[in-house]
Structure 1
Amino acid sequence: MTRAAWRHAARFRFHSAALRLREAPDLRLHVKDVMAKLENPVLMATIGGAQGLRGEVRAKAYTADPTALGDYGNLHSMDGRTFEILDIREMKNVVVVRFRGINDRNAAEALNGLELYIERDNLPDEELEEDEFFYADLEGLEALDDQGVSYGTVTGVFDFGAGDLLELKGPGKRPVLIPFSEVSVLDIDLEGGKITIDPLAAGLVDGEDGGPKFTPDKPKKKK
């Protein structure tokens, strides 16, 4: 896979990772008190406070289109419930959602802080273009420079307001953050399980004397 569509990538967290989403067919299901055992959960939204008296809630959606929150299959909480979205609309920086079976303010308030997930397999890979990818798939990729020196693995993607950042962590080392840009991250190879980075542009080495700010691992020997 070649370089990503950096400027258009939307934030989406998967255990602190993000991904780009495209709209998918509407796949809305009912609220059920059943154990949803997700093998590869992707965080879709976090429910906030109640909105009004009829059971609506405010939620922070992590999809590219916030109103497409219910378009990727089941929405599950980790306590085993599965949610169907009956109605959704945008309001400032959140969405207002009405779930089936949540009919009053008390029921809505009980959902405050609940995180909603889907199974990774529900994301529409076939709709991705050649230069698009899901940020969720970045977690676990090894970060190497062009000499094969390892700077750890990707353990998260964050955005604190100034652009996306990749979190890298090596064995026994503290996590470090690097800019998630085409200057710092030169290539993404999902099949190969790695990304190629420029340590200088990523701020991992000092440009004045070339000294490391982050101690890399030794290059791996080719078999």
Structure 2
Amino acid sequence: MNKDSERRILLGRVAGAFGVRGELKLESWTEPRSAIFKYQPWILRSPSGQESELTGVRGRESGKALIATFPGVDDRNVVEAMRGTEIYILRSALPPPKPDEYYWVDLEGLDVQTVEGVKLGQVSHLFNTGSNDVLVVRGDRERMVPFVMDDFIKSVDFEANLVVVDWDPEF
């Protein structure tokens, strides 16, 4: 799995300022959302494309908001200028997934074929519907396959770069 160990994973984004002391409101796509603070250093990418590395970020949940303190940032104006900054980490910073669990980023780019051997394309991305995750496959057209192990997803083989699905190619 080390082929993409230096690949970047987008974990969240600076949503704006919180209060007047330089605290930041964050959007986090980790589960739970406060887990974003466990993964550091962060690679910050500003909306203009400038990048910097940051360690020592602290944070807490406050109602519906996730609040962070960045080392050396204590001015609301500085924080407002950071709105939209994306927060990345290196894939290698993530712990290994548990058996039969996958990081979405590791599935992206894998070939997808049916149990009958019909090639459907490659995994473009995944998204969550609330009830389950969905594998988006792009080939001759786009297909959305529920990511439900054993029902629709029969196997994931990183060595073969392949996901085998029980899915009607006409659907």
Tell me if both proteins adopt one fold, taking TM over 0.5 as the criterion.
yes
Is 1:55 the counterpart of 2:22? The answer is yes
Cα offsets for 1:111-153 (capped at 9, x unmatched): 111111011111122xx33223322100011111112111111
Q: TM-score, normalised by structure 2?
A: 0.84
Q: Which amino acid aligns with 1:108?
A: V
Query: What is the aligned-residue identity percentage?
Result: 30
Among candidates 74, 77, 99, match of residue 103 of structure 1:
74
**Root-mean-square deviation (CA), in Å?**
2.0
Q: TM-score, normalised by structure 1?
A: 0.66
1:98 shift after superposition: 0.8
Residue in structure 2 matched with residue 117 of structure 1 by the alignment: 88
Contact 2:156 2:162 in 1 (8 A): yes
By percentage of residues, which structure has more strand?
Answer: 2
Residue in structure 2 matched with residue 83 of structure 1 by the alignment: 54
1:39 shift after superposition: 4.5
Residue in structure 2 matched with residue 40 of structure 1 by the alignment: 7
1:85 shift after superposition: 4.2
Cα offsets for 1:147-197 (capped at 9, x unmatched): 211111101011244432111101xx3433221112221221122211111
Deviates more, 1:81-90 or 1:190-199: 81-90
Residue in structure 2 matched with residue 169 of structure 1 by the alignment: 138
Q: Which amino acid aligns with 2:167?
A: P
Contact 2:37 2:58 in 1 (8 A): no
User: How many residues matched?
Assistant: 162
Q: Which amino acid aligns with 2:109?
A: G
Say which SS state the counterpart of residue 38 (structure 2) adopts.
coil
Go from structure 1 to structure 2 and tell me whether the alpha carbon gap of 1:93 and 1:192 turns closer, same or farther (over 3 Å shift).
farther
Is 1:129 the counterpart of 2:104? The answer is no
Among candidates 173, 178, 203, match of residue 145 of structure 2:
178
Say which SS state the counterpart of residue 74 (structure 2) adopts.
coil
Is 1:147 the counterpart of 2:111? The answer is no
Structure 2: 5+ residue stretches without partners: none
Contact 1:47 1:58 in 2 (8 A): yes
Of structures 1 and 2, the one with the larger relative CO (CA 8 A, separation 6+) is 1
Residue in structure 2 matched with residue 195 of structure 1 by the alignment: 163
CA distance in 2, matches of 1:93, 1:192: 42
Structure 1: 5+ residue stretches without partners: 1-37, 205-211, 214-223
Residue in structure 2 matched with residue 69 of structure 1 by the alignment: 36
CA distance in 1, matches of 2:29, 2:21: 24
Say which SS state the counterpart of residue 101 (structure 1) adopts.
coil
